[in-house]
Amino acid sequence: MNLSGCYTAIVTPFENGEIHWDTLRRLVNLQIDGGVSGVLPVGTTGESPTLTMSEHKKVIETVIEEVNGRCHVMAGSGGNSTNEAIELTKFAKDAGADSSLQVTPYYNKPTQEGLYRHFSTTADIGLPIILYNIPGRCVVPIDIDTVVRLAEHPNVIVVKEAGGSVDRVSQILNACDITVMSGDDAL
């Protein structure tokens, strides 16, 4: 799978505390009309940690239906809990997502082995996954050695780097055969 071009992390729009579904659909169409290669629903920008499981699933499903094959859908289906990440990733796969963004579990500060097991178990579902390294929000970075180990899994296809270090990106590219996407404006 070749992921190139612009992928927009779309917001989850709310009105009076409820998701505004018509606005979500309009946002998807604005991105597609603007020529993006793909959209990312329920990533960090889409407020994934604040949604219920049913809201999370419905956002993924609504975006996939609205896209209707016109661009790549990278569903945000990661999370703190491996079981929840598995449930959301299975749902995204069954709903027709093209790939899944897997955020680094946060708050509990997992070890690198814990991160490896979390991501590899999620990758076993069969949907191509993008590792999301965002240490400024998740506190725990995915070490380069862990990225290298995970890159050996056939379903781990990309690492989205939001750590702000060009040197780190260069080290990853030199250490293994994985695509790196920028998740930081400075990169």
Residues in the chain: 187
Give the confidence band of 136 by pLDDT, cuts at 50, 70, 90: low
Rounded mean pLDDT, 91-95? 99
Number of Cβ within 10 Å of residue 33's Cβ equals 9
Supply the pLDDT for residue 148: 96
Q: Which helix (H) or strand (E) holds 63?
A: helix 53-67
71: tokens are: 């661009």
Give the confidence band of 162 by pLDDT, cuts at 50, 70, 90: confident
Structural domains of the chain in order of their starting residue, each with its CATH number: 7-182 (3.20.20.70)
Non-local (6+) Cβ contacts of 77 within 8 A are 42, 56, 60, 85, 88, 89, 91, 92, 97, 100, 101, 102
Query: Could you say which of 7, 57, 93, 160 is catalytic?
Result: 160
Cβ proximity of 70 and 35 under 8 Å: no
User: What pTM was estimated for this model as a whole?
Assistant: 0.93
* Residue 132 appears among annotated catalytic residues: yes
Query: Could you say which of 7, 57, 93, 132 is catalytic?
Result: 132
Span 32-65, pLDDT tens digits: 999 999 999 999 889 888 899 999 999 999 999 9
Supply the pLDDT for residue 86: 98
Whether residue 2 is predicted with pLDDT greater than 90 in this model: the reply is no
